[in-house]
């Protein structure tokens, strides 16, 4: 079970590693590129209600032509593609929920027209739920219900609710229109996509979506949680419709292919349990959960850093940094900024800055207790949806955990870290970490298997909290059977002794400023000296693994290193770094600093044409991934 302080056995390793690191300059091996400022792209497209248009909405160019009828915008957005210059693309989507009275009649007419059209073509749509499906105009396994759960046919009886449902649809629609090319490239690059769902998996997805539709219909008008679920499902339906309307000939994707972009991480669990194949017909192998996180207190600066590096396949590096400004009623955060991917309605990394001054990150944790899989049933809500609902509704760590724990799917199990910068701002002395600053949320399958703990006192005592794909909370560690796994397979699976645990203990003291933080989070000296062989060679019989590092470079592990599958040579690496600071959060602009691309501080720059995985699809990506840091800011609320 995880321990709450370093064990005596570890002290000699840590002292030796600290001494070694001290003798090998604790600075970046290369001078970092200057930080570039990345601002919200200007809006170029909008969506308006139009009863005569397909799906009841149509696109308009922005700014609208002077002298023409200026229909009220439901949603609008802008996109800037700097993937080849900065390693990121940038998407900002805005919703208009302030003119419900003016547009409610138009919204109702649009929904009614779409429902009627569907009824003519299908001979159905007699229920409000079917009318909503017609309005969404998808043949997907997508739930399509209004934010109130009673459908847009309710018309003016609840103007705001119906309007927000249409705004959610429009937000998805404009995102698809702005990013259609990148969505197609990203979908084609994901070889382990939806290509072959087993009948059992297809049935699971259909049943889960039908169950969610029913719950939204029953409770969406009275329960803010189910209301947000319904709005997300409308946003997904809008994405499908917007892509179908704007994608170029030859680049059309069916609704399942688009759905799986958001459902992809939950699919890691579902494919393991129910079966699916990749585009080549091979059984899809569940993606091993990897990422690195540190939350670091710097008393002398009265600072608090929250940093996350994503470990994933290199062909996933079609990055989109997103702002979703959707001012729904009854939410704590109308604005969410997060690192993401084309067509994906949540982060996946996960890394978020919310309008409630929360920074939310996670690292995935695997379940090694097969008996828990019985709790993975369709009558639940996928993790990607519950994460976004919690981000919208939560004002602090405890409310985030409560929202996230509802209707636990047991898929895509993670350790989440919710950093509340409002609570930290209440510190009365240097080094103090007030209660509520750091909340840890560990998920395993089961309705009662979401463990929550305030680790603010730990953070104050030890100066940091690190996460590296091992449960940091004791009940989850026991429930997921980690003690037995360590006894059978070794320290690689241990919370205390795995390589990254040892590296974080030794290196975190260097993160006293942003340069030090970057150096720690991009650390990979698996073959460059400085890290003991007990770390670099952990779980390997003949050589070091480039996965035994805070920032993985799976492409560099020698083929003859004799490592276990989890850290053998593989198409996976630490493809970015994102971090927030108290000073950045205080700006009110949802600001973060980010770098895209595999770590190259102590290793060669990643180059596709020189990579052992060159043959893997990576359409639209740069060949050379050598980018500096960007400061991503989105303006203040209402600006």
| Peptide bond preceding 402 in cis form (omega within 30 of 0) | no
What kind and span of H or E run contains 73? none
- Domains in the chain (CATH in brackets) are 8-31+287-633 (3.60.60.20), 37-277 (1.10.439.20)
Name the phi and psi angles at 241, rounded to 5: -65, -40
* Residues with Cβ within 8 Å of residue 638, at least 6 apart in sequence: none
C-alpha span between 383 and 389 (Å, rounded): 10
The segments of the chain whose pLDDT lies below 50 read 1-32, 69, 100-157
First to last CA, the chain: 48
Could you tell me how far CA 161 lies from the centroid of its own chain?
Answer: 27
Alpha-carbon torsion (551, 554, 558, 563), positive or negative = positive
Whether the CB-CB separation of 134 and 119 falls below 8 Å is answered with: yes
How confident is the model over 316-363, as pLDDT tens digits?
Answer: 999 999 999 999 999 999 999 999 999 999 999 999 999 999 999 999
Residue-level pLDDT at 107: 43
Residue-level pLDDT at 637: 85
Measured at the CA of 11, the angle between CA 9 and CA 12, to 5 degrees, comes to 85
- Chain mean pLDDT for the chain: 85
Residue-level pLDDT at 58: 95
Name the phi and psi angles at 367, rounded to 5: -95, 125
Long-range contacts (CB closer than 8 Å, 24 or more residues apart) made by 448-452? 449/372, 449/375, 449/408, 449/410, 449/476, 449/479, 450/401, 450/404, 450/405, 450/408, 451/475, 451/476, 452/398, 452/401, 452/405
| Peptide bond preceding 441 in cis form (omega within 30 of 0) | no
Name the phi and psi angles at 440, rounded to 5: -105, 135
Alpha-carbon torsion (260, 265, 269, 271), positive or negative = positive
* Residues with Cβ within 8 Å of residue 391, at least 6 apart in sequence: 333, 336, 352, 354, 358, 360, 400
Its pTM surpasses 0.85: yes
- Using DSSP, state whether 140 is helix, strand or coil: coil
> What would the DSSP string read from start to end of 468-536?
SSS--SHHHHHHTTHHHHHHHH-GGG-TTTSHHHHHHHHHGGG-SSHHHHHHHHT---TTTSSS-HHHH
């Amino acid at each position: 079970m995880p321990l709450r302080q370093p064990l005596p056995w570890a002290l000699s390793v840590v002292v030796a590693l600290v001494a070694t690191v001290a003798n090998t300059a604790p600075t970046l091996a290369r001078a970092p590129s200057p930080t570039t400022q990345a601002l919200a792209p200007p809006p170029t497209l909008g969506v308006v209600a139009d009863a005569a248009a397909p799906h009841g909405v149509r696109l308009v160019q922005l700014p609208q032509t002077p002298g023409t009828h200026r229909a009220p915008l439901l949603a609008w957005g802008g996109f800037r593609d700097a993937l080849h210059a900065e390693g990121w693309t940038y998407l900002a989507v805005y919703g208009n929920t302030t003119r419900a009275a003016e547009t409610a009649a138009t919204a109702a007419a649009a929904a009614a027209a779409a429902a009627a059209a569907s009824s003519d073509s299908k001979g159905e749509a007699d229920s409000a739920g079917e009318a909503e499906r017609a309005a969404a105009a998808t043949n997907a396994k997508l739930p399509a219900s209004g934010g109130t759960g009673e459908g847009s046919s309710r018309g003016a009886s609840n103007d705001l609710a119906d309007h927000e449902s249409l705004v959610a649809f429009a937000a998805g629609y404009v995102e698809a229109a702005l990013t259609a090319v990148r969505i197609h490239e990203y979908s084609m690059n994901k070889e382990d996509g939806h290509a072959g769902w087993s009948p059992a998996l297809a049935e699971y997805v259909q049943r889960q979506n039908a169950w969610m539709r029913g719950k939204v219909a029953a409770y969406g008008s009275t329960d803010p949680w189910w209301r947000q679920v319904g709005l997300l499902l409308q946003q997904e339906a809008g994405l499908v419709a917007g892509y179908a309307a704007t994608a170029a000939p030859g680049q059309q994707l069916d609704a399942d292919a688009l759905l799986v972009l958001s459902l992809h991480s939950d699919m890691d669990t579902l494919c393991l349990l129910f079966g699916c194949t990749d585009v080549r017909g091979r059984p899809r192998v569940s993606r091993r959960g990897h990422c690195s996180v540190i939350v670091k207190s710097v008393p002398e600066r009265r600072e608090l850093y929250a940093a996350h590096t994503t470990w994933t396949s290199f062909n996933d590096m079609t990055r989109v940094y997103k702002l979703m400004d959707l001012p729904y009623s009854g939410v704590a955060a109308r604005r969410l900024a997060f690192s993401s991917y084309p067509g994906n309605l949540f982060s996946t990394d996960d890394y978020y800055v919310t309008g409630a001054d929360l920074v939310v990150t996670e690292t995935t944790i695997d379940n090694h207790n097969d008996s828990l899989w019985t709790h993975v049933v369709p009558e639940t809500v996928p993790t990607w949806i519950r994460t976004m609902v919690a981000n919208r509704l939560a004002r602090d760590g405890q409310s985030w955990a409560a929202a996230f724990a509802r209707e636990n799917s047991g898929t895509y199990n993670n350790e989440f870290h919710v950093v509340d910068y409002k609570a930290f701002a209440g510190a009365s002395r240097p080094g103090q970490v007030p209660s509520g600053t750091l909340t840890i949320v560990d998920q395993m399958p089961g309705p009662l298997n979401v463990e929550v703990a305030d680790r603010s006192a730990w953070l104050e005592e030890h100066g940091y909290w690190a996460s590296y794909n091992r449960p940091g909370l004791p009940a989850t560690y026991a429930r997921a059977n980690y003690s037995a796994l360590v006894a059978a397979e070794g320290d690689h699976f241990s919370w205390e002794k795995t390589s990254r645990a040892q590296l974080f203990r030794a290196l975190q003291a260097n993160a006293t400023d942003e340069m030090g933080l970057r150096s720690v989070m991009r650390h990979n000296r698996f073959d460059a000296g400085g890290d003991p062989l007990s770390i670099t060679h952990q779980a390997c019989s003949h050589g070091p693994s480039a996965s035994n590092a805070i920032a993985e470079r799976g492409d560099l592990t020698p083929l003859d290193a004799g490592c276990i599958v989890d850290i053998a040579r593989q198409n996976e690496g630490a493809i970015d770094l994102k971090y927030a600071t108290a000073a950045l959060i205080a700006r009110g602009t949802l600001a973060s600093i980010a770098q895209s691309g595999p770590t190259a501080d102590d290793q060669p720059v990643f180059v596709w044409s020189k990579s052992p995985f060159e043959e893997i699809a990576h359409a639209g990506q740069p060949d050379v991934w050598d980018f500096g840091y960007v400061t991503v800011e989105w303006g203040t609320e209402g600006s």
